[in-house]
Every structure is written in C-alpha cells, then in structure tokens.
Amino acid sequence: MTDVVFPTLAKERPEAEGVVSTWFVDDGATVAAGQLLAEVMVDKAAVEVSAPAAGVVHLLVAEEDTVTQGAVIARIT
C-alpha cells in the first residue's frame, strides 16, 4: 500500500490547509506510476499530484475538501 499525500506548498506554514480542487481519476481506478491523479491548491498556488506507484487508487477525500498539507488524500493498493 502506498499513500498519496497532499504536498507541502506553503513551507513556512506547514499547518496551512489546502483544497483538493480536482480529481482526474475515479475511486477504484487502476493507475500507472506517474499518472496524474489530482490538482490541489494552497492559498493561490496550484500543483498537480501524480501517482507514486501503480495499482488501484482509493480516494480518501472528495473534491473541494479542505485538508492539512502532508495529509494522506488517497491510497494505492
């Protein structure tokens, strides 16, 4: 099992919260390592999140959910 974490975009404020603005895959989808999974935002900075490994992705947060940087947002099994 591999965790997909919300990246730390505001390094001076690691406790800052962000939003999963878009998921590009559905829960239960098979993904390849490096495949684009989501776009996330902290303040006005947007970043794309890719799969760290191949497998089946299990989304743990919904689009527009607010999460703390570094939180697990999905798992790949």
- Record the pTM: 0.90
pLDDT in tens, 15-24: 778 999 999 9
pLDDT in tens, 46-56: 899 999 999 99
Are 63 and 20 contacting, i.e. CB atoms less than 8 angstroms apart? yes
Are 59 and 35 contacting, i.e. CB atoms less than 8 angstroms apart? no
Q: In a structure prediction context, what are the per-residue pLDDT tens digits for the chain, which is 77 residues long?
A: 999 999 987 677 767 789 999 999 999 999 999 999 999 998 888 899 999 999 999 999 999 999 998 999 999 99
Q: How far apart are CA 47 and CA 9, in angstroms?
A: 8
Residue type at 77 in one-letter notation = T
In CATH, the number for domain 2-76 is: 2.40.50.100
Taking the domains of the chain in order of start, what are their residue ranges? Answer: 2-76
